[in-house]
Amino acid sequence: MKTHYYLGWFNNFFPESLGRVLQEDITDRKSLTMISSNPSTYEDNGATERSWLDQAGVMFEEYHLINYSVQKEDAQRLIQNASVIFLLGGNTIKQNEFLLEYELSDLIKKSRAVVIGASAGAINMSAKWLCSKNFGYEVEISSVYNGIGLDDFSVLSHFDLENNMALLQDELASLSEEMNIYASNKDCAVRVKGDKIDIIGNVYLISHSKIQKLDETL
C-alpha cells in the first residue's frame, strides 16, 4: 500500500498524532534518502527535517542526501533502495528542475518506499502546482509546473492562508477546476494511504473555485 505525507512546516516538532502514524507506517528503517531543494549548495542538508523524525522516534540505519555532489546514477540507485524518501523544503523550482535533470520522478513513483515532502517537497510531490509571484516566487508570469504526480491533486504548502483567502481563491481558481488543491500552512499534514486521505492541522480544500476547511481525521 503506497503511503505519502504532504507536510507543511514545523517550527518545533511533529504533533503527537503525526508522530504516531509515522511510527506505524514506517516499518522498514534501513535507509532514509533525502532530496535537496537547493542541490548546488551544501547548506541544505536536511538537518531540520531529520530532527522532526528523530524526535518522533523514527530513526534509520543509513542516511543519504541527494544533491549535485552525487552522481546521477548513484542518486537513482539510492532512490531505488530507499526505505523512506524525503523531499526537503526550500526552493520549489530548483528542486523541480533537479528531479527532471536527474530523472528521479518515475523512480519515486515506482518506489515502494514511504514518500514524505515538506513545504517545497510536498508541492513537488503533487501532480501540478502553480508558480506565482503572489505565492513568493520570483517570477513575473504565473505558470503551472508538473510535479512528480504521486497523487492526482495539487498542493500549496507552507503559505499564510488565513490572511490571503481572497487571493488564494482568485489565483487557484483555474487549476481548481482541473483538480483538487490541498492548501496548508504550518504544523499540518495530508497523509495519503491507499485510497484514504487523512488530515492533521489546518488544511483547506479548494475545488471548483470553492474553499472549505477540512476536519482533522487523526
Q: Which three cell numbers stand for residue 43?
A: 547548506
201 touches 188 (CB < 8 A)? yes
Supply the DSSP string of 191-208, one letter for each residue.
Answer: EEETTEEEEESSEEEEET
pLDDT given at position 161? 77
Q: Specify the pTM.
A: 0.97
pLDDT given at position 85? 98
Which residue, among 86, 156, 84, 160, has the nearest Cα to 119 in the 3D structure? 156
pLDDT given at position 41? 82
Instruction: Please determine, for residue 44, whether its predicted confidence score (pLDDT) is greater than 80.
Output: no
Instruction: Please determine, for residue 43, whether its predicted confidence score (pLDDT) is greater than 80.
Output: no
pLDDT band at 42 (very low <50, low <70, confident <90, very high): confident
pLDDT higher at 168 or 144: 144
pLDDT in tens, 171-185: 999 999 999 999 998
Supply the DSSP string of 127-187, one letter for each residue.
Answer: SEEEE-GGGT-S-SS-EEEE---SSSSEEE-S---TT-HHHHHHHHHHHHHHS-EEEE-BS
pLDDT band at 81 (very low <50, low <70, confident <90, very high): very high
Instruction: Please determine, for residue 155, whether its predicted confidence score (pLDDT) is greater than 80.
Output: yes
Cα four-point dihedral sign 92, 11, 199, 167: negative
Per-residue pLDDT averaged across 65-91, rounded? 97
pLDDT given at position 167? 87
Give the whole-number percent of the chain exceeding pLDDT 70: 100
Q: Domains in the chain, start-ordered, CATH in brackets? A: 3-213 (3.40.50.880)
Calculate the average pLDDT of the chain: 95
Which residue, among 91, 135, 115, has the nearest Cα to 34 in the 3D structure? 115
Instruction: Please determine, for residue 129, whether its predicted confidence score (pLDDT) is greater than 80.
Output: yes
CA distance 201 to 211: 16
Give the whole-number percent of the chain exceeding pLDDT 90: 89
pLDDT in tens, 184-211: 988 999 999 999 999 999 999 999 999 9
